[in-house]
Amino acid sequence: MKHKTKKNAYRIGDRLVVDVTDLTARGEGVAHHNGLTVFVGGALPGERVQLRVAVVKQQYLVGTLEAIQVRTTVRQTPPCDYFPECGGCQWLHLNAAAQAEQKRRRVMGDLVHIGGFTDIADKVCATVSADSAVHYRNKAQFKISEEGIGFYAKGSHQVIPIAHCLNQMTPNDDLILILNQWVKDSQIPIYREDSGTGNLRGILVRANRRGDIMVTLIAKTLSGVNTERLARRLQESLSELVSFSININPNRGNRVLGEETRVIFGAPTISETLCGREFQISPASFFQVNTEQAEKLYRQVIRYANLTGQESVFDLYCGTGTIGICMADRARKVTGIEAVPEAIADAKENARRNNIDNIQFFCGRSEKIMSERLAAGDAADVVVVDPPRKGCARLLLETIVASGVPKIVYVSCNPSTLARDCRCLADAGYRLEEVTPFDLFPGTGHVETVVLMLKVNN
């Protein structure tokens, strides 16, 4: 006999007063009321707030913030004119020190609740904060609407038009003004994801620490896209512009770039340095968005690896080879493995450009290529993994364990899958030695983490 699930007694429009105890990555304060979890956008831990119930579910409520009755001292006035409507940032109402502590707490919480680790507070270091909370991004993916270019509103595909963005590395007011005017004057139909109609899909802007700027238009087809006027205006107005191109993406869906990029003027790439190495960046290249923080993160990877010059290192999910290339002068040999052919091509070119001859790159699944290289006689003294948000493939973890590698350095962009994978490794005989969170995206709920795991000698 089935038992009917008891419905909670709340209704949309009810008003509640709650004490906020936690914060989600999306910027929602977390509270509890009569056994239910309550999410309140804009509320911060340590605050007592009044809310109006907007969503009623069996296990939780979502409320709209109406009043802050007790305000936390770490609340700040957001420095951005578009917060919180723009979805690019979620934590701008929280000061930098509190953001750093919240990110550390998030990593610890997932290691405890998902990974099942205990007594780890002393192993999780303080979050490494960014030197600057603004002007840190070397990449912007602008969305386009009839009202202008900007970013999506939180939780939607509605574009919030902007005149500037404090996160971008270089001042962008003039660039945005030019692009907005061109979009208006060109009258190119705006692409719509739901129907696949229209043509103009977006604008990608990349920059480096020297101030060079790369602009890439993204369109479904070249038909009707006349870039001459825009090219001329950009060249006349932006002395920093070194590359202007158009990318063709005819495919349905929300993937940003297609496979074909045509350079209209300038170079096909811009260059950037990391840890003393030079990297070429194309519109499609993966490159850490916060260059200054990426250097700190890579140096932490190098410290955890503690290389003597005799080790054979496997760099898995290596992307364009940045971590492996930055480690190569401290290792005997580095093997980078990545499933994306374009990334491997970039990695090989980056190694050639930096005159590195003790690194090799292979294209394919990390677990397959690593097994083949070990069978061919390669050693594994250190393994570095930097997987996507979904974490490591289970078969890869099994391959790493079977290799008997004594040291694993795990770089993660998702604390929950990091915790899951660290538990798998711990159950297979590895000790979680130390954890360092990094704030690569100030003002957001995102946290990067570097973990050192050592094999336990039985």
- Judge whether 386 is annotated as a binding position: yes
3-class DSSP state of 327: helix
Residue type, 115: G
How far is 137 from 441, CA to CA, in rounded Å? 8
How far is 38 from 420, CA to CA, in rounded Å? 26
Identify whether the C-beta of residue 449 lies closer than 8 Å to the C-beta of residue 440: no
Q: Where are the alpha helices (DSSP H) in 276-354?
A: 291-305, 322-327, 341-353
In sequence order, the 6+-apart residues with CB closer than 8 A to the CB of 449 are: 107, 410, 411, 412, 415, 418, 435, 436, 437, 438
Adjacent-strand bridge partners of 431? 454
3-class DSSP state of 157: coil
Cα-based angle 89, 90, 91 (whole degrees, multiple of 5): 105
Q: What is the rounded radius of gyration, in angstroms, for the C-alpha atoms of the chain?
A: 24
Residues tagged active-site: 413
- Judge whether 317 is annotated as a binding position: yes
Identify whether the C-beta of residue 356 lies closer than 8 Å to the C-beta of residue 285: no
Pairing state between β 382-385 and 312-316: parallel
In three-state form (DSSP H/G/I as H, E/B as E, the rest C), the secondary structure along 345-411 is HHHHHHHHHCCCCCEEEEECCHHHHHHHHHHCCCCCCEEEECCCCCCCCHHHHHHHHHHCCCEEEEE
Kindly report the number of other CB atoms within 10 A of residue 184's CB atom: 11
How far is 262 from 392, CA to CA, in rounded Å? 35
- Judge whether 280 is annotated as a binding position: no
- Judge whether 338 is annotated as a binding position: yes
Which residue ranges make up the annotated binding site for S-adenosyl-L-methionine? 288, 317, 338, 386
Q: Which residues are annotated as a binding site?
A: 288, 317, 338, 386
